Amino acid sequence: MPQLTLKHVVDIDYITVEHSISRFLVNYLEVSRGSGYVVGVSGGIDSATALALAVRSVGPEKVFALILPDIDTTPRDDVEDAIELVERFGVEYHIIEISRAIQIFKELIPLYSNDIADRLPLGNLRARLRMCILYYYANKLNHLVLGTGDRSEYLIGYFTKYGDGAADIAPLTILYKSQVRHFAQHLGIPNKIIKKPSAPRLWPNHLAEEELGIKYEDIDLVLTAYIDLGIPENKISEITNICREEVDKILKLYRSSHHKRQGAIMPDTKILDIIQKKIHENFYNQVQE
């Protein structure tokens, strides 16, 4: 049986990728009548790529960047990398340190225990607070919020619902993480950011692959095999040379995170149709009289 390797995933035409996504960004801005895009820049690979793509698509004058560190979780190096990026691409930006706001939330929420016991909800709060600030600027400037998530994280649900998963437009969700790294090189992102380990920084020393327990390269291979190529689940381990336990873990993440990609679940309107049928019939009859 032929082997599926990472080369099959990343060996794509990134010039055509840029042209296609750029048209998408330009057209959506025109249709929505927005003045530009606002993007959160963390100093990581995804936000750097989204920033560069936006600037090359609509121009730096139509892109506003926000750097939103928390001194309790964000390394200074990340902030410096983010500043270097926004200045490199010539966009206007603000730096807003969010730790004071997080502290206020801790004091307001009766359920808060401590940073260790509340690590996950507190980390998600950081992501959602950043989302609130991004949308404040979007409303103020008549901009659209540009999402920075990639396809790997989108498909396994590795994002905060209504946090970094909230955006008006999400151009990188067609590219796996390994593809984003190659695309970033095409866009002129500094090599130190391309090689930097993915790190959500929702709590101190928070690294993505460490939390997931899986390498992105393996995630990308398994998802490519299962979703893009339609390889039967029981054959994926053989063609990717990834152990069955890891394949099962990745596919479990994909299936269990469906609700995060679906949005709010709504009841079937047929329930109301049955309840209101008599009212609607009476109203219709009155109109006809």
pLDDT per residue, tens digit, the chain (289 aa), is: 789 999 999 999 999 999 999 999 999 999 999 999 999 999 999 999 999 999 999 999 999 999 999 999 999 999 999 999 999 999 999 999 999 999 999 999 999 999 999 999 999 999 999 999 999 999 999 999 999 999 999 999 999 999 999 999 999 999 999 999 999 999 999 999 999 999 999 999 999 999 999 999 999 999 999 999 999 999 999 999 999 999 999 999 999 999 999 988 888 777 777 777 777 677 666 666 6
Task: Quote the pLDDT of residue 287.
Answer: 63
Cβ contacts of residue 200 below 8 Å, gap of 6+?
Answer: 123, 127, 164, 206, 208
Distance CA 156, CA 151 (A): 9
b/e map 84-115, b = 16+ CB within 10 Å? ebbeebebebeeeebeebbeeeeeeeeeeeee
261 is in an annotated binding site: no
Task: Quote the pLDDT of residue 265.
Answer: 85
Contact indicator for 165, 260 with CB cutoff of 8 Å? yes
153 is in an annotated binding site: yes
43 is in an annotated binding site: yes
128 is in an annotated binding site: yes
Task: Quote the pLDDT of residue 279.
Answer: 72
Residue 184, number of CB atoms within 10 A of its CB: 23
99 is in an annotated binding site: no
| CATH fold group of domain 6-262 | Rossmann fold (3.40.50)
Contact indicator for 178, 44 with CB cutoff of 8 Å? no
Contact indicator for 194, 171 with CB cutoff of 8 Å? no
Asked whether the CA dihedral 213, 247, 254, 9 is positive or negative, the reply is: positive
259 is in an annotated binding site: yes
Task: Quote the pLDDT of residue 284.
Answer: 65
Contact indicator for 171, 154 with CB cutoff of 8 Å? no
CB-based burial label for 237 (10 Å; 0-12, 13-18, 19+): middle
CB-based burial label for 5 (10 Å; 0-12, 13-18, 19+): middle
State the DSSP string of 220-279: HHHHIIIIIS---HHHHHHHHT--HHHHHHHHHHHHHTHHHHH-S----THHHHHHHHHH
CB-based burial label for 172 (10 Å; 0-12, 13-18, 19+): buried
Q: How many residues does the chain have?
A: 289
16 is in an annotated binding site: no
Which runs of E-coded beta strand occur in the chain? 36-40, 63-67, 92-95, 143-145
174 is in an annotated binding site: no
249 is in an annotated binding site: no
Distance CA 138, CA 94 (A): 13
143 is in an annotated binding site: no
Cβ contacts of residue 94 below 8 Å, gap of 6+?
Answer: 65, 66, 67, 137
Contact indicator for 86, 65 with CB cutoff of 8 Å? yes
